[in-house]
Every structure is written in C-alpha cells, then in structure tokens.
Amino acid sequence: MSLELAVAAALFVGVIAYAVLGGADFGSGFFDLTAGSSKRGAELRTLVDHSIGPVWEANHVWLIYVLVIWWTGFPESFAAAMSTLVLPLLLALLGIVLRGASFAFRKYAATLAQARLFGIVFATSSIITPFFLGTVAGAIASGRVPLDGTGDRWSSWVNPTSLFGGVIAVGTCAFLAGTFLVADARRSGHDRLADELRVRALGVGAATGAVVFAALVPLDHDAPTLAAGLEGRAAPLVVLAGLAGLGTMVLLWTRRYAVARITAVLAVAAVLSGWGVGQYPWLLVDEVTIHDAAGATATLQGLLVAVGLAVVVVVPPLAYLFKLTQSEEWSRPDH
Amino acid sequence: MLTPHVVTATLARLATEAEPPGLLPAREQMALSLGWHIVLACFGVAFPAMIFVMHLRGIRRNDAVALGLAKRWAKVSAVLFAIGAVSGTVLSFEMGLLWPGLMGTYGDVLGLPFAFEGLAFFLEAIFLGIYLYGWGRMPAKRHVLMVLPMAITGIIGAYCVLAVNAWMNVPTGFRLVEGQVTDVEPWKVLFNRHAFLQFAHMWVGAYMLTGFSVAGVYAVGMLRGRRDAHHRLGFLVPFVFASVAAVTQPFVGHVLGFGLDERQPAKLAAFELAETTESPSPLRLGGILVDGEVKGSIDIPYLGSLIAMNSPDKPVPGLDTIPEEDHPPVNMTHLAFQTMVGIGTLLAAAVVLFWFQRRRGRDLLERRWFLRFVAAAGPLAVIALEAGWIATEVGRQPWIVYDVLRTTDAVGDYTASLWWLLGISTVVYTAMTIGAVVVLRSMARRWRAGDADLPSPYAPEVAAAPEVEA
C-alpha cells in the first residue's frame, strides 16, 4: 500500500467511526424529538441521556480526527471542499454547536421548562447535522467539488445525490440509535419502553431502506463515477450492507437486540466502505486522486506515526469506557 | 476638482490598497470564536489538576468537604468541557473555511501538531466520560486516577496548539522554491524552538485564569457571610494554584520576550510604542500613536532598553526602521500588551501580599476589600489573557505566517457575506454564554439549597409534575 493510500485509509476509518459512533448519538436525538410530551417522553429521554452521556464527547472527537488528517494529509483538497461547500458545512457546524451545548445544559437544567427548551434544541440539531454532512458527502461523491475551490456554492449540495445523501444519513443515524437504545432499554429493565422503541426502530429501518433503493435510480446519471464504482468494485460491500440491514430488521423483529447491534454497525460500516471503495481512486471525484492530492511525504509519515500512537494510547481507554457503559454498575441510576 | 484623471488615480490607489472584502469579517469571526474558546480551553487545561488535588485530599484524609467540592467541580467542568469542545470544533472548521490560502498551501506543514493535539483531546474526552460517570461506580482509588490523564492531556494539547502558533510567529520546517513549498519537515514544526516558551506562557496563564476564577466564586460566597470549611477549602486550593502561576508568569513572559527585536521587530516596536529608535529607549506607559506621533504616554527613561533589550542603553528598534506596509495596528497591540503586563503585575503583587500577611499571622480573608479584589481577579485574569493573545496575534499582522504569507493572501474569496456569518455567530455565542451562566448558577443554587446530587430533569418526580402545556 502506498503511503498516501495508507493515510487515506486511516482517514476513512475515522469517517466510519464517526458515522457509527457519532451517528448513534445523533440518531438518539431523533428518538428524543419524537418521544412525545414531557411526561410521556421522560422515560425515553432519561434513557437517551444515560446512554450517550458518558460517550458523546469521545464520539464527537472522530470528526476532529477526520478534519485534522484531511487538512494535514491532503491540504489542497481540504481547502477546496471547505470553500465550495461552505454553506452546508456551516449549517452542520451550527448543528454541532447547538447540539453539544444544549445536551450538556439540559442535563443540569434547573426547571422542566429549561430542560424542555434545551431538549428541543438538542434534538433538532441532532437531525440537521447529519443531514448537512450527508449532503457534503454527496457533493464530493458526485464530482461537484473542483480542486480550485470554485464550485457553485448552491448547486454543489442542492442536487439529487446530495439530498439523498442527507436523508440517508439522517435515516441511518436514527436506525443505529434505535437499535442501540432498544438494547439499552432492555438491559436497564425498561421492557415496555424497549417494545415501543423496537416498533419505531423497525419503522425507521424500513423507511431508510426504501430511500436507499430509491436513491439508486438518480445516482446513475447524477453521479456516474460513483455509480459505476458501486456496481463494480464495491458491489460486494453494497450487497453486504443490504444483507446486514435486513438481518438487523429480522433480529429486531425477533427481539435479539444484542446481536442486532452488531449487524446494524456492520450495515452502516459496509455502506460507507462501499462509498469509499466505489469512488476510489478519487479523493474528490473526477477532480483529484488520492495520489495527486497527497501532501508532503514526511508529513504523511508523521501522520501514520500519530495514527499508530492513537491505536496504542486511545483505543484501550476507549474500549474501557465502552465496556464500563455496558456494565451492570453503570446501568444504575445516575448520582 | 473631481476631474476624470483624479477619479481614475483615486480608484487605482484604492484598488491597490483595498483589502479583500472578506478579510475584516473573517478576522473578526476568528477573533470571536478563538477569543471565546480560549477561556474554556484554559479551564480544560488547568481545572483537572485542581480537581485532582481536591479529590485526592478527600480520599487521603477522608475529608467529606473536599470530596463534595471535587464532585461539584467535576460537574461544572462537564458543562465547560462540552461547550469548549464544540467551540473547538468550530475552530477546526474555520481554519479551512476562513483561511483556505493558509490551509491549502501550508496544511501539510503545520498539520502534524494538530494531529497530536487531536490525540490528546481524544484521551481527555474519554477520561472525562469515565471520571464523570465513575462516581460511586468504581473503586475510589482508581476513580481519582482517572482525572490525571485529563490534567496531562490538557497540557500536551495546549503545547501542540501553541507549537502551531509559535510556527506562525517563527516559521520553520519548509522551504519556498519559486513560490512552491518544498522540503517539509513536520517534526521541526512540532518541536520548533519557540514553541516551548509560548506554551509555558499560555499554560501558566491558564492556571491564573482558572485559579482566580474559581477562588473568586468562593470569595463571593464569603462576602455573603458563608464562612464554612467548604468555602475556605474551595477558595484555598485554586488560590494556591493561581498564586504559584501569578508569581511565575512575569519571569516566563520576560524570557519569552528575549530576542523579539530580531524575531519580530515590528511587534516589539508596537509593544513598546517605539515610533523612532531611541537610545536608551524609555518605557512608555499608556499613550497612543496619532499621525506618527506618540501622545499621552508616561515615559520612564532607560527602562524600555532594560526590560526589552536587557541592556542599559541598547535601543528598541523603532517603527521607522520598518516599511510602512509591514506595520501592525500599533495602538491596539501596544494597549493590549500593556493591559496584560499591568494586570499580571497587579495579580502577582496581590498574591505576594496575601501570603506575606498570612506568614505574619494576618488573614486577608477577613478583609472585605481583599475578598472583593479576589472576586474581581478572575475577570481580570480573563482580560489579561485575552489582551496577551490580542497583543501577539495583532502584533504579527499583516502576516498570518510571519514574513511568509500575508493575511490578505490567506483569506477566502468570500465577499461581505461573511458579515452575516459573524452576526449569526455573535447571536449563537451570546446564547451559549447565557445558557452556560444560567445552568451554572442554577446548579450552584440547588447545591446551596442542599441537593447534593442534582435530580435528572426527567426523573419521575419531575415528569410527574403537572403538565405545563396542558
């Protein structure tokens, strides 16, 4: 593997990690928003708070990891994407800011009215953020980001591929979150809530699946390079994603929630890997390849050192954190 | 007379002088978001160490007061960390959005320190999660150790960010050949010779800001008559941190200033308000530059040469030695620099006085004027930190990378539409500030009312309350 490809792979691992871990956090906002009145939704909202509270900060850092590797490893393409996609990126950023702040504020809010206000901001921004990040992915994948950064500031992300990308991102996040929350609800003994969430997660899964299939139609002429990749090299991943998605639905249906989480993660990881493999060797589709976009060799080597170090020093404590959140002690009510 | 010739001549002059229309709003945008983030970053760097000391004391001495304080501080730090993390994310977007000319060309030169900063931040976020939710859920001795990585990674992260800033002041690790960046040596950027001193200055500043701010909260409590062990301990631990930092800072700052006359003579001239080169140079207190003349300053002879040049008569090189187009905004740089030094000196003197009197058996905590001063010391430290940052950043202008890349060439080709962004950002940051203040105050109020553990806003008793919307 060439140096720049290794860095691109490390970058893409970050994209997948953010989509899976951050995505599940974002999706929790969807269920939070649709949980009903304060009284009816209290149980679910407490569950959301409890299950993403310890991990959302760490899950959020994947985005920073992606940005930093991108601008360090492939600086010109980063500047180009930022310039062309300034609008959806700013809207996503607004969502990130409002979401992070209001989630923290809600936890310590003084009154129910305050908690409700912060809660609405948190949940709404949890939906708009993945939508706009999805449109960014669609813009890059459909070859709408020129390397000189002069792409149209509107049509680059208001187009079939981008809009489908946004909707699919929201749906995928919600589906992931649903699967995770169902399992959390049952583990902490909220059986009635788990049953309710199960039905809604199945609904979200069915809707998202339908959108993904519908997206295949416009993709052929709106993003031909990506479509060719998806039908060719990335076809096995696309099939895997479909099977894992279906499998998750079956497992949810039969109430095998613990396994369903694994297949749900697999489905999302496969979709994203399909995107990556499908658009290879392009970094910005039809504009610049990974090879040509790469920065200085010494810097790429340095980045791989940083990534190697991350594997050694970040992964163990991260695994410890996740293990703790799944343990019996942490399922106890908060202090 | 408005002859066509005059009009074309004026237009031609304007065209050459005119800055890109997006430059001013982009700079203001960066100033707002970085100036806001920097305060929270200080808490991220310094607060964990204070929590660690307090928590450790709680365990070692079986001190319930100390444990209670550590627990509350942890909850406060959770709120501050959350908004610090999102405002930090804003900055990583803005690097590319606002300064494509910098990131597109120099991204691979300056990027590596950010990668390590990202690593450090990752660890900080993970251990924050473990620590916050670990209360009562893991053995006490292991739990207290979970703060330590946060204290260490805060330091590493700050070093990395300061390494990039130091690089912008003293660029290294690459060569420009016919306008192309070559021979990139990213490790040289990470370990550039200026990074450590700049980091040390900022790091100590973070302890001052956090220490005085936290101590100030308890000073206010004492002013209102709450003079229990809780308040005394809550004051003392952060005040000790702040004291050590405050007396160290003038030395660190002085060492950092060595060689500034060679590194960035324009910045030094602006700091010292040296319009012309004078031998020996005076120290100018206050004053502004109007039409090339210094007005309203109090000049202390010799002191400028002594402090800036470490010599009784060596002159501070004046602005007259530097081409006009390379002058930074002199007045803002000078006043910001003096504000930082002035407040820093005041705070150092105050802590020396406090500990000196304490040795002599006099407790200034019994004096209302001293408590009032400590209450103001937190905001003062914030002002000093912001002023120091303005001094170094504005003093570097018109360069974004000193002597290599002008800020005008780094900015994106956005038009005045960036003013909209600035307006929206101002609203969002204001709302976030109000939200944080409201939430922190309500936490404090409930703690005072005797709630050791804050109830979840959705706990059954809250949810069971009558529906407001009904």
Q: Which of B29, B153, B12 is nearest to B426 (CA)?
A: B29
Neighbours of B2 (CB within 10 A): 7
Q: Determine the Cα–Cα distance for residues B55 and B63; give it in Å rounded to an integer.
A: 9
**Looking at the predicted structure, is the pLDDT value of residue B324 above 80?**
yes
Query: Given an 8 Å threshold on Cβ–Cβ distance, is A105 in contact with B129?
Result: no
User: What residues of chain B, 284 to 323, have a C-beta less than 8 Å from chain A?
Assistant: none
Contact in structure between B457 and A107 (CB atoms under 8 Å)? yes
Q: Which residue has the higher pLDDT, A21 or B460?
A: A21
Amino acid B462: pLDDT: 45
Residue among A65, A75, A114 minimizing CB distance to B104: A75
Band of residue B184 on the pLDDT scale cut at 50, 70, 90: confident
Amino acid B467: pLDDT: 37
> Which residue type sits at B394?
V
B42 to A12, B151, B179: CA distances (angstroms): 32, 11, 38
Q: Determine the Cα–Cα distance for residues A110 and B442; give it in Å rounded to an integer.
A: 6
A65 to A323, B89, B164, B409: CA distances (angstroms): 22, 10, 17, 27
Tokens 């479509």 sit at which residue?
A227
Q: Determine the Cα–Cα distance for residues B201 and B194; give it in Å rounded to an integer.
A: 11
Amino acid B319: pLDDT: 84
The overall average pLDDT reported for chain A is 90
Amino acid B19: pLDDT: 74
**Looking at the predicted structure, is the pLDDT value of residue A175 above 70?**
yes
ipTM of the complex: 0.89
Residue among A102, A297, A314 minimizing CB distance to B122: A314
Q: Which of A17, A41, A16, A27 is nearest to A175 (CA)?
A: A27
Handedness of CA A207, A209, A211, A217 (dihedral sign): negative
Percent of chain B at pLDDT exceeding 90:
41
Residue among A63, A79, A103 minimizing CB distance to B100: A79
Amino acid A222: pLDDT: 93
Amino acid A58: pLDDT: 87
pLDDT tens column, B8-50:
665 555 444 557 778 888 888 899 999 999 999 999 999 999 9
pLDDT tens column, B294-308:
787 788 888 888 888
Q: Determine the Cα–Cα distance for residues B377 and A19; give it in Å rounded to an integer.
A: 44
B169 to A174, A188, B114, B202, B251: CA distances (angstroms): 46, 54, 17, 15, 21
Whether the CB of A87 is below 8 Å from some CB of chain B: the reply is no
pLDDT tens column, B59-78:
999 999 999 999 999 999 99
Whether the CB of A160 is below 8 Å from some CB of chain B: the reply is no
B209 to B222, B347, B438: CA distances (angstroms): 20, 11, 21
Q: Which of A328, A322, A323, A330 is nearest to A17 (CA)?
A: A322
Dihedral angle, C-alpha A159, A161, A162, A168, nearest 10 °: 140
Q: Which of B376, B454, B57 is nearest to B232 (CA)?
A: B57
What values do phi and psi take at B316, rounded to 5?
A: -80, 120
Amino acid A163: pLDDT: 95
Q: Determine the Cα–Cα distance for residues A4 and A191; give it in Å rounded to an integer.
A: 49
**Looking at the predicted structure, is the pLDDT value of residue B149 above 60?**
yes
Nearest CA in chain A to B454: A108
Amino acid A134: pLDDT: 95
DSSP B120-147: HHHHHHHHHHHHHHHTTTS-HHHHHHTT
Which chain A residues have a beta carbon less than 8 Å from that of B90?
Answer: 93, 96-97
What DSSP state is assigned to residue B454?
Answer: P
**Looking at the predicted structure, is the pLDDT value of residue B367 above 60?**
yes
Query: Given an 8 Å threshold on Cβ–Cβ distance, is B79 in contact with A72?
Result: no
Contact in structure between A102 and A121 (CB atoms under 8 Å)? yes
B339 to A202, B323, B457: CA distances (angstroms): 61, 27, 43
Query: Given an 8 Å threshold on Cβ–Cβ distance, is A71 in contact with B106?
Result: no
Contact in structure between A105 and A11 (CB atoms under 8 Å)? no
Amino acid A270: pLDDT: 94
User: What residues of chain B, 44 to 103, have a C-beta less than 8 Å from chain A?
Assistant: 75, 78-79, 81-83, 85-90, 92-93, 95-97, 100-101, 103
Name all contacts of B449-454 with Cβ < 8 Å and 24+ positions apart: B452/B68, B453/A334, B453/A335, B454/A108, B454/B75
What's the residue count for chain B?
Answer: 470
HSE-CB of B174 using CA atoms within 13 angstroms: 29
Q: Which two structure tokens, joined as six digits, stand for B328?
A: 């930074």
Query: Given an 8 Å threshold on Cβ–Cβ distance, is A73 in contact with B122?
Result: no
Contacts of A302 (CB under 8 A, 6+ apart): B112, B115, B186, B187, B190
B51 to B71, B128, B241, B248, B407: CA distances (angstroms): 8, 12, 11, 21, 40
Hey, is B322 helix, strand or coil?
A: coil
Contacts of A131 (CB under 8 A, 6+ apart): A166, A167, A169, A170
What DSSP state is assigned to residue B286?
Answer: S
Q: Which two structure tokens, joined as six digits, stand for B373?
A: 């001063």
**Looking at the predicted structure, is the pLDDT value of residue A334 above 80?**
no
Which chain A residues have a beta carbon less than 8 Å from that of B130?
Answer: 54, 317, 320-321, 324
**Mean pLDDT, residues A8-26:** 93
Q: Quote the longest CA-to-CA distance of chain B.
A: 87
Strand partners, B175: B182
DSSP A153-202: TTTTTSSHHHHHHHHHHHHHHHHHHHHHHHHHHHHTT-HHHHHHHHHHHH
Contact in structure between A134 and A171 (CB atoms under 8 Å)? no
Q: Which two structure tokens, joined as six digits, stand for B225?
A: 């008559």
DSSP B378-413: HHHHHHHHHHHHHHHHHTTTTEEETTTEEHHHHS-S
Nearest CA in chain A to B84: A101
User: What residues of chain A, 291 to 330, have a C-beta less than 8 Å from chain B?
Assistant: 295-300, 302-303, 306, 309-310, 313-314, 317-318, 320-321, 324-325, 329-330
**Looking at the predicted structure, is the pLDDT value of residue B229 above 80?**
yes
**Mean pLDDT, residues B139-150:** 91
**Mean pLDDT, residues A263-281:** 93
Residue among B186, B453, B463 minimizing CB distance to A39: B463
Quick one: how many helices (H) and strands (E) in chain B?
Answer: 17, 8
Band of residue B54 on the pLDDT scale cut at 50, 70, 90: very high
Contacts of B41 (CB under 8 A, 6+ apart): B84, B88, B158, B161, B206
HSE-CB of A129 using CA atoms within 13 angstroms: 30
Q: Determine the Cα–Cα distance for residues B109 and B183; give it in Å rounded to an integer.
A: 10
Relative orientation angle of helices B265-272 and B330-359, to the nearest 10 degrees: 70
Q: A with B: how many residue pairs have Cβ under 8 Å apart?
A: 271
Amino acid A335: pLDDT: 45
Which chain B residues have a beta carbon less than 8 Å from that of A297?
Answer: 184
Among A122-131, A303-312, B413-422, the least confident range = B413-422
Amino acid A210: pLDDT: 92
pLDDT tens column, B244-254:
999 999 999 88
Amino acid B12: pLDDT: 55
What DSSP state is assigned to residue A20?
Answer: I
Percent of chain A at pLDDT exceeding 70:
98
**Looking at the predicted structure, is the pLDDT value of residue B159 above 90?**
yes
Q: Which of B277, B378, B282, B289 is nearest to B333 (CA)?
A: B289
The overall average pLDDT reported for chain B is 86
**Looking at the predicted structure, is the pLDDT value of residue B4 above 70?**
no
Rg of chain B, C-alpha, whole Å: 25
Segments in chain A forming alpha helices (H): 3-17, 23-33, 38-52, 56-73, 75-84, 86-107, 112-141, 160-187, 191-222, 224-231, 235-253, 257-279, 290-293, 297-313, 315-325
**Mean pLDDT, residues B432-442:** 90
> Which residue type sits at A145?
V
